């Protein structure tokens, strides 16, 4: 069994795989990573583990995990199944690198746009020749709500919600309409831009806000909230089969 670990901005996601089958996902705080991983190791016979986004994890923690099970760390110099055309590969987020890695292995020789809707919205494009060019980064849903509250004196901080109507008839409804509809129009617009150039485009939507956004998007997409974790597992399988 393999263990895929994604260290996010607020929490850690750890997924157990048997081959390419996802068995279970655990969520916990970053400071609990060793305690919670030890529970997983006791429950499942983990042979290998892989971790992304290690910037917020100490070297001592990584070494402790590696003492329990062989640990692969996603990094910018690892062998890739695609040509990295990013102008500054050393600045490319490891979560974005892992998403593209997983997309190439799943959708080989396809024009693919991966949209990760989390704290930030990231867009990453790889063409059918398996060349990765980059994409875009913009604020995520919660960040947009928080920015309206933080940078104004009177606008309230609201929970994410689907607008009741397109034209907001109150301050709260206007915020929901502006934030949610604004982001949906952004995503639809970006997809349209890529489809204008690449008509045979595969679009993957992933990240924490996948379920909320996918129900409202009109474009044809593959919605998979666990695409990053699955991609990490594919990296392990790929490395073992080289």
**Residues annotated as catalytic (active site), given as ranges:** 95
Tokens, residue 72: 């692969």
DSSP code at position 54:
G
Pairing of strands 120-126, 111-117: antiparallel
Which residues define the annotated binding site for ATP? 6-13, 119
CA neighbours closer than 13 Å in the CB half-sphere of residue 35: 6
Q: Residue-wise over 87-114: b if at least 16 C-beta within 10 A, else e?
A: eeeeebbbbbbbbbbbbbbbbeebbbbb
Return the residue matching tokens 């690449």: 198
């Amino acid at each position: 069994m393999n263990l895929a670990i994604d260290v996010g901005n607020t929490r850690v996601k750890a997924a157990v795989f048997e081959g390419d089958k996802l068995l279970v996902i655990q969520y916990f705080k970053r400071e609990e990573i060793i305690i919670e991983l030890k529970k997983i190791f006791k429950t499942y016979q983990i042979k290998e583990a892989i971790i992304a986004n290690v910037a917020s994890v100490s070297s001592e923690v990584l070494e402790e995990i590696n003492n329990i099970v062989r640990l692969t760390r996603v990094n910018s110099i690892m062998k890739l199944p695609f040509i990295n055309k990013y102008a500054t590969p050393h600045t490319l987020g490891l979560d974005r690198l892992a998403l593209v890695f997983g997309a190439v292995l799943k959708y080989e020789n396809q024009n693919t746009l991966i949209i990760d809707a989390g704290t930030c919205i990231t867009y990453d494009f790889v063409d059918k020749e398996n060349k990765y060019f980059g994409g875009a980064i913009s604020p995520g849903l919660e960040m947009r709500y928080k920015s309206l509250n933080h940078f104004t004196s009177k606008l309230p901080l609201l929970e994410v919600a689907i607008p009741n109507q397109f034209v907001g008839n109150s301050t709260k409804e206007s915020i929901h309409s502006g934030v949610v509809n604004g982001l949906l129009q952004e995503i639809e617009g970006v997809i349209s831009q890529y489809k204008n150039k690449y008509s045979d485009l595969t679009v993957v939507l992933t990240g924490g806000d996948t379920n909320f956004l996918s129900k409202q998007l009109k474009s044809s997409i593959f919605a998979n909230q666990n695409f990053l974790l699955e991609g990490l597992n594919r990296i392990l399988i790929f490395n073992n089969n080289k």
